[in-house]
Homo-oligomer: A and B are copies of this chain.
Amino acid sequence: MNNFAPLKNIRVVLCETSHPGNIGAAARALKTMGLSQLYLVSPQRFPDPEAAWRASRADDVLAAAKVCDSLDEALAGAAFSVACSARSREVAVPEVTVREAAAQLIEVARTQAVAVVFGNETYGLTTAEVNKCRLIATIPANPRYSSLNVAAAVQVFAYELRMAAGGQVPRGEPRVMAGHEEVESFYAHLEQTMVETGFLNPEHPKKLMPRLRRLFARAQLEKEEVNILRGILKALGKPKNRD
């Protein structure tokens, strides 16, 4: 099974959004993370050119958005739901971080529909809305200013969902690492060159070679890089032309 298949089972619900720009930006945030289901409960202005502009090339997600009259309608058929909230609150629902919530959502979404719910820009989710969900997720934030823009919160949540599903960066070509003997020969060449130029006194070597070994060990030298470095040492070791 494709690691990212559960993302198709996740709907993102925006309640009573005031600014159409935020709806467009949320659509874009979903698509960048491989989500596609956007539900809008009583948006104040939608559709709107500002939403289309901010959606950029996520116009397909925006066009497919479902407009609902109530949160109940948006949650119909969902097997699990999470309310995203900036603040801790006195409600009948357990609270976790967005990272923990994402892991739980992905687990359920392997087989069933799930939802993440976001509130209005100014007053967030009402207590009644939060109580319709199974879990509250908070995004850890600056206690003096924890008010993320709603589309920014959707982006963070969608990112954590993708990470939980198994989001790894594809890493191009595998690196061809230098072999043990090649690296040791390079160190010997480097040391010899330093001795010849007087930079390293073999009677008092101090910590010079161990330090250089540590530096190059961190770099995890590739085969071709060792060849380049030895080429440089060889060129430097040659007598110069004196005109």
Closest Cβ neighbor of A97 among chain B residues:
B169
A73 at the binding interface (Cβ < 8 Å): no
Neighbour of A25 across the interface among B149, B199, B220, CB < 8 A:
B149
Interface residues of A in 189-230 (CB under 8 A from B): 193-194, 196-199, 208, 211-212, 215-216, 218-222, 224-225, 228-229
Residues B32 and A148 in contact, CB atoms below 8 Å apart: yes
* Residues of B close to A81: CB separation below 8 A: none
> Nearest chain-B residue to A237 (Cβ)?
B236
In the complex, residue of chain B having the shortest beta-carbon distance to the beta carbon of A31: B145
A216 to B149, CA, bound (A): 37
**A7: nearest chain-B partner, CB-CB:** B142
Per-residue CB contact flags for chain A residues 162-174 toward chain B (1 = under 8 Å, else 0) read: 1100111111100
Most central of A95, A99, A143, A156 by chain B CB within 10 Å? A156
B155 touches A140 (CB 8 A): no
Shortest Cβ distance from A32 into chain B, in angstroms? Answer: 5
Across the interface, do A211 and B231 meet the contact criterion of CB distance under 8 Å?
A: no
User: Residue A240 at the B interface, CB < 8 A?
Assistant: yes
Residues of B within 8 A of A218 (CB): 218-220
Which residues A68-107 have CB closer than 8 A to chain B?
88, 95-97, 99
Contacts known (A148-B32, A199-B231); A239 close to B236, Cβ less than 8 A: no
Alpha-carbon distance between A33 and B152 when the two chains are bound, in angstroms = 12
Task: Report chain B residues within 8 Å CB of A57.
Answer: 145, 147
Closest to A152 in B: B155
- Selected contact of A155 from candidates B148, B199, B219, B222, CB within 8 Å: B148
Distance (whole angstroms) from the CB of A171 to the closest CB of chain B: 7
Q: Which of B88, B151, B225, B232 contacts A152 (CB 8 A)?
A: B151
| Assembly CA distance A106 to B141 (angstroms) | 16
Answer yes or no: A11 CB below 8 A from chain B CBs: no
A-B contact pairs, 29 of them (CB 8 A): A25-B149, A28-B149, A29-B152, A32-B142, A32-B146, A56-B149, A57-B147, A97-B168, A138-B169, A140-B167, A140-B168, A140-B169, A142-B162, A149-B155, A151-B152, A152-B152, A152-B155, A155-B156, A156-B156, A156-B159, A194-B235, A199-B231, A199-B236, A211-B225, A211-B228, A212-B225, A212-B228, A216-B219, A239-B242
